[in-house]
């Protein structure tokens, strides 16, 4: 199979962030990745020391306040010290409506959870997550998704896994970029 990428994607830091401050870098804790969507929020987590991302879960969206309450609780329960939100740029790199929504969501997270938030280019992460899940399970998720089109998507629906795995891909790329820039500061 052909290699999909040449290296880690760039971290987009449009928002004010204190993620690069020494106190945050040395503080033990987890990094939470968010794959933002209008219907679901995919989540993945990695311990800062090990740097091993893993899908956590997918939240079905309820409303802004309830979503923030659940994310605050998850962040507290998992000792989160950093949040990474996927930035869904168009394939040509321009911002569309979803990128603007994700940026506003990231700003709300930063304000309401009082945690540093970085944004990472997430182009093709859902596609990559589907490919990873297909390889793992030996089935085509696209067919499963089209069979339940319009039906209620419960926790057992394949898309829930795709969202969390997409968040893990976002987190993997974020951590790879951090490792590269730490070992070679000229790449910043």
For the chain, the structural domain boundaries read: 11-187
Q: Higher confidence at residue 186 or residue 169?
A: 169
Q: In whole angstroms, how large is the CA radius of gyration of the chain? A: 16
The most distant pair of C-alpha atoms in the chain lies apart, rounded to whole Å, by: 50
Evaluate whether 78 touches 32 at the Cβ level (below 8 Å): yes
Q: Higher confidence at residue 83 or residue 145?
A: 83
How many CB atoms lie under 10 A from the CB of residue 52?
A: 12
How many CB atoms lie under 10 A from the CB of residue 62?
A: 10
Question: pTM higher than 0.75, yes or no?
Answer: no
pLDDT at position 169 is: 87
Tens digit of pLDDT for each residue in 150-162?
333 444 444 447 8
Does residue 88 sit in helix, strand or coil?
A: coil
Fold entry, domain 11-187:
Nucleotidyltransferase; domain 5 (3.30.420)
Tens digit of pLDDT for each residue in 77-101?
999 999 999 999 888 888 999 999 9
pLDDT at position 58 is: 92
């Amino acid at each position: 199979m052909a290699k999909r990428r040449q290296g880690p994607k760039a971290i987009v830091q449009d928002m004010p962030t204190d993620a690069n401050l020494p106190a945050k870098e040395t503080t033990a804790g987890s990094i939470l990745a968010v794959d933002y969507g209008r219907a679901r929020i995919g989540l993945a987590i990695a311990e800062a020391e090990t740097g091993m991302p893993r899908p956590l879960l997918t939240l079905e969206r309820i409303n802004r306040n309830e979503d923030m309450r659940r994310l605050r609780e998850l962040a507290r329960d998992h000792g989160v010290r950093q949040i990474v939100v996927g930035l869904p740029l168009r394939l040509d790199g321009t911002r569309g409506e979803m990128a603007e929504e994700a940026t506003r969501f990231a700003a709300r997270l930063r304000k309401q959870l009082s945690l540093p938030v970085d944004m990472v280019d997430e182009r093709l992460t859902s596609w990559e997550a589907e490919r990873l899940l297909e390889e793992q399970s030996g089935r085509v998720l696209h067919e499963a998704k089209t069979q339940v089109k319009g039906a209620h998507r419960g926790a057992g629906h394949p898309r829930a896994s795709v969202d969390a795995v997409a968040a893990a891909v976002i987190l993997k790329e974020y951590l790879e970029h951090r490792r590269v820039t730490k070992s070679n500061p000229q790449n910043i």
